[in-house]
Amino acid sequence: MYGNVTGFTFNQFMEEIDNGRPVLIQLAGHCVLGFGYDQSGQYIYLHDTWDYSVHSMVWGQNYAGMLHWGVTVLRLAADYEPPLAEFTTSSVSICAGEMVQFQDYSLYSPESWDWTFEGAQNQTSGEQHPYVIYPETGVFSVSLTVTNAYGYDSKIIHSLINVGEPCYCQVNGNGEVFIEEIRFGNIISLTNYSQGGYSMIDNLSTMVYAGLRYPILVRVSSETPGISKCGVWLDWNRDMFFDENELIVLDRAGAGLYTGLVLVPLNSVTGGSRIRVQVNNDSYFYACGVCSGETEDYPFLIEDVQSSKQLMVKVFPEGLFQHGPGLLSKAKTELGNVFPDDIVDVVSIELTEAFAPFTQVFSSQNLTLNNQGLVLMRLPSSFNGTYYLIIRHRNSIATWSATAISFEGNSQFVDFTTSISSAYGQNLLSDGINALLYAGDINQDGSVNVNDIIIVESSATTFQMGYLLEDINGDGLIDAEDLIIVDNHAAQQTGIISP
Ligand SMILES: [Ca+2]
Ligand SMILES: [Ca+2]
Ligand SMILES: [Ca+2]
Ligand SMILES: [Ca+2]
């Protein structure tokens, strides 16, 4: 509190106002609030507490007959205080390579922040709320010094951040939409909604080879068309991070059905890796954190092409075969094609020993079948014996090769389309020109019979649509056309013929 005669000047009054601090003007017998000024004539603007209007007076003169004899300057204490350093962190226990966010909570208006992060990728920062990556394992201290015009303060927390071995981040969900089926190579997974919206399913796995393409199919439950989205990350460089360029967004191929083609990059790092499948109702995919949906992880193996050999098989599943052009038609749903590009459907190839009991030695499932009937498979070059092949298609009769085939060379081609003699027991359907896999084994029990007919009849009666086993001709509808084929082969007692 100053008397105006003791030295608080109009210039000082202006400085207070300029700094956003109103000044109490003491009059003889009253007190008013000065909040502005007019430099010419040394006018001050004030509120007099008697009304809501703006009034004015000349500095040091009278107002309403009362002499201006003093002022009270109001300054909040903090403006004179040095700051007090305080901070928190988003996490104190992470895996190497992960990021932590630090949140500044310092008191008394700090104006600059000086952070030190022991063990971090960038060990200093001048930001208020910095994001910090810790690439190495260890236990690390963090310090923050905050400064303002009146001083500074430091806070150090020793052994604050505990960085463990590298790991995959978790991503939780709420199950608004969830995964009930995944088909990707030898991963064939049927699940419900997992508590917490995340699960790592490590008893299933598959192998992939660089340069090859693998279809992926995901069925979801409780989807919201137009909102729900489905995508997969594959950790090609095996750095335990699902990067943006490792995300493949799947297409909605039918009600609750999402599909895509995984092309294995040539520069993938060989070894054990992980695929993350996510369905959510958010605007983005979240590799880590939380999403409105469900996420499932599976291990998979990126195999070395150099130490592998190739098998090419040509097959025509009867139901998809177009007799005129000699090509296969694409499996469809009510919305269109199930798979992109030239892929019509998927098949599996198994290798068995050449002698009884014909034990299976290798199996590769969900391989791409293209419109020319070609299926490309790779297998480790250690398979250099003689093996029977079994070709399986989702609603065809499983078909064995006529003889056991030598895998001595690096590349084999087996054609099941030119002659029924290419199959064991000549178990192929001839259309006069081509040999076709018999269709109709809906339940995949090895024969076409009344049980298959019952399944197709039931679905035809209720006008089922989609990518279903009952859809023999792949047009996305279950109807009489499918039933006729199953009826015919049931009458002929079509079934597997094996050595
Ligand atoms: Ca699930
Ligand atoms: Ca990665
Ligand atoms: Ca059957
Ligand atoms: Ca059909």
Looking at residue 7, which CATH number applies to its domain?
3.90.70
Mean local confidence (pLDDT), 349-368: 98
Could you say which ligand is closest to the alpha carbon of residue 448?
3
For the stretch 97-127, pLDDT in tens is 889 999 999 999 999 999 999 999 999 999 9
Give residue 374 CA to ligand 3 midpoint distance, Å: 25
What's the predicted TM-score (pTM) here?
A: 0.76
Domain boundary, last residue among 123, 149, 164: 164
For the CA of 221, the nearest ligand:
1
Q: Are 103 and 150 contained in the same domain? A: yes
Looking at all shown ligands, the one closest to residue 194's CA atom is 1
The pLDDT tens digits for 224-262 are 999 999 999 999 999 999 999 999 999 999 999 999 999
The number of the ligand nearest the C-alpha atom of 469 reads 4
Task: Return the ligand number nearest the Cα of 275.
Answer: 2
Whether residues 299 and 311 fall in one domain: no
Boundary residue ending a domain (303, 335, 361): 303
Pick from 75, 107, 132: which residue ends a domain?
75
Statement to judge: residues 427 and 318 lie in one domain = yes
- The number of distinct structural domains making up the chain is 4
193 shares a domain with 135: no
Give the ligand with the smallest distance to the CA of 175: 1
Ligand 2 centroid to Cα of residue 233, in Å, is 9
Q: How much distance in Å is there from the Cα of 314 to the middle of ligand 3?
A: 23
Domain that holds residue 405: 307-499
Q: How far is the CA of 172 from the centre of ligand 1 (A)?
A: 12
Tell me, what's the pLDDT at 329?
97
Domain match, 47 and 134 both: no
SS (H, E, C) the chain: CEEHHHCCCHHHHHHHHHCCCCEEEEECCEEEEEEEEECCCCEEEEECCCCCCCEEEECCCEECCEEEEEEEECCCHHHHCCCECCEEECCCEEECCCEEEEEECCECCCCEEEEEECCCCCCEECCCCCEEECCCCEEEEEEEEEEECCEEEEEEEEEEEEEECCCCCCEEECCCCEEEEEEECCEEEECCCCHHHEEECCCCCCEEECCCEEEEEEEEECCCCCCCEEEEEECCCCCCCCCHHHEEECEEEECCEEEEEEECCCCCCCEEEEEEEEEECCCCCCCCEEECEEEEEEEEEEECCCCEEEEEEECCEHHHEECCCCEECCCEECCEECCCCCEEEEEEEEEEECCCCCCEEEEEEEEEEECCCEEEEEEECCCCCEEEEEEEECCECCEEECCCEECCCCEEEEECCCCHHHEHHHCCEECCCCEEECECCCCCCCECCHHHHHHHHHHHHCCCECCCCCCCCCCCECCHHHHHHHHHHHHCCCECCCC
Give, as residue ranges, everything with CB less than 5 Å from ion ligand 1.
Answer: 179, 191
Q: pLDDT tens for residues 80-94?
A: 889 999 999 999 999
- For residues 359 and 331, membership in a common domain is answered with yes
Residues with CB in 5 Å of ion ligand 3: 441, 443, 445, 452
Whether pLDDT at 353 is above 60: yes
* Together in a domain, 462 and 334: yes
CA 166 to ligand 2 center in whole angstroms = 12
Query: Which pLDDT belongs to residue 1?
Result: 54
Question: What pLDDT is attached to residue 20?
Answer: 80
C-alpha 276 – ligand 2 centre gap (Å)? 11
